[in-house]
Amino acid sequence: MIKAATIKEVKDNVREWKKQGLTIGLVPTMGYLHEGHASLIKRARGECDKVIVSDFVNPIQFGPKEDLATYPRDFDADCELCEGLGTDLIFHPEPSEMYLEGFHSYVGVDTLSTELCGKSRPIHFNGVCTVVSKLFNITEADKAYFGQKDAQQLAIVKRMVRDLNFNIEIVGCPIIREESGLAKSSRNTYLSEEEREKALVLHKALTVGEEMVRSGEKDANVVKKAVTDIIESEPLARVDYVEIVDWNELQKVDKIDGPILTAVAVYFGDKVRLIDNFIVEEAVK
């Protein structure tokens, strides 16, 4: 496995692979890899000739009061996991390699970025779109793999690729959960034993909500209230949002009559913010 710290190293390898007519799969990550990431790498490994994993805690997608400094990092463990899964190249640049002096460019997607996490994290998705655009250009990947855990990110990146005509296919992959039901996340490492147990309330609430939608409940506010009530029954949980939006423009809906995303963000303690969601692609008759 090649460990590349510079953009030039990646581009040199990519040029060689392209010359040989090989396809490239990209798994963009912020490192501290877990089974969620592993599922993306495995999918890429099965579908592409060469697999690149980027491992970069992207500073510009963190707000000033967020957890950039403390975001968990373990590059050696990441390398081991990637190598074990047959990754061809891991890209692990310094921020100064990605953001040169005089860096002033940005990429973003309106409308889809305004609700859900866009409300409490106003610069977040611009940072994501910008770094992802860079990674697409650096790797010239044919396919890129994103988890549905970050559903809004997935929708935004898909729209960006369509709108800006990137020559890449975005593959959305299912949420990977612990046996308990807790969605895998690098930020789970922040949770105490007790919080980790209490955090199960997210999946529990969403399971009830999904069941309601699939059984034909059309009133978004009824579903929202049921989900919120279950989460708020847990004293350690503080709801950032519980929202139901259409799974196209990500705008709030009152009536469920098409594909919808139900997404939640919940604080545990002061610094841990977890997200989870379900998508119902087919309107229930």
| DSSP β-ladder status, 89-91 and 24-29 | unpaired
Q: Tokens 């007790």 label which residue?
A: 194
Among 73, 77, 111, 229, binds a second copy (CB under 8 A): 111
184 is in an annotated binding site: yes
Residue 100 interacts with a second copy (CB under 8 A)? Answer: yes
205, 179 in Cβ contact below 8 A?
no
Q: Tokens 């196209």 label which residue?
A: 248
Q: Which one of the spans 26-34, 67-75, 160-168, 239-247 is the region binding a second copy (CB under 8 A)? A: 160-168
260 C-beta neighbours (distance < 10 Å), count: 23
CA distance linking residue 73 with residue 249, whole number of Å: 34
Output 131 or 244, the one with its CB closest to a second copy: 131
Beta bridge partners of 239: 266
* Selection from 77, 71, 119 nearest residue 95 by Cα: 71
Task: Tell me how far, at minimum, the Cβ of 235 lies from a second copy, in Å.
Answer: 39
CA distance linking residue 205 with residue 199, whole number of Å: 10
Residue 69 interacts with a second copy (CB under 8 A)? Answer: no
Residue 20 interacts with a second copy (CB under 8 A)? Answer: no
Output 157 or 201, the one with its CB closest to a second copy: 157
Output 111 or 189, the one with its CB closest to a second copy: 111
Among 73, 162, 225, 255, binds a second copy (CB under 8 A): 162
The footprint of a second copy on residues 125-144 (CB under 8 A) is 129-130, 133-134, 137-138, 140
* Selection from 138, 149, 111, 157 nearest residue 6 by Cα: 138
Among 73, 80, 94, 106, binds a second copy (CB under 8 A): 106
Output 79 or 144, the one with its CB closest to a second copy: 144
* Selection from 24, 11, 29 nearest residue 52 by Cα: 24
Residue 96 interacts with a second copy (CB under 8 A)? Answer: no
150 is in an annotated binding site: yes
Q: Tokens 């390699």 label which residue?
A: 97
CA distance linking residue 273 with residue 261, whole number of Å: 19
CA distance linking residue 79 with residue 88, whole number of Å: 11
The footprint of a second copy on residues 192-251 (CB under 8 A) is 248-249
255 is in an annotated binding site: no
Q: What letter represents residue 97's amino acid?
A: E
| Token pair listed for 154 | 């997935």
Q: What letter represents residue 13's amino acid?
A: N
Among 20, 70, 163, 193, binds a second copy (CB under 8 A): 163
Is 104 catalytic? The answer is no
Size, binding site for a second copy by CB under 8 A: 31
CA distance linking residue 191 with residue 211, whole number of Å: 28
Output 103 or 189, the one with its CB closest to a second copy: 103
Residue 41 interacts with a second copy (CB under 8 A)? Answer: no
Binding residues for (R)-pantoate: 61, 153
Binding residues for ATP: 30-37, 147-150, 176, 184-187
Residues serving a catalytic function are 37
Binding residues for beta-alanine: 61
Binding interface with a second copy (CB under 8 A): 7, 11, 100, 102-112, 129-130, 133-134, 137-138, 140, 159-160, 162-167, 248-249
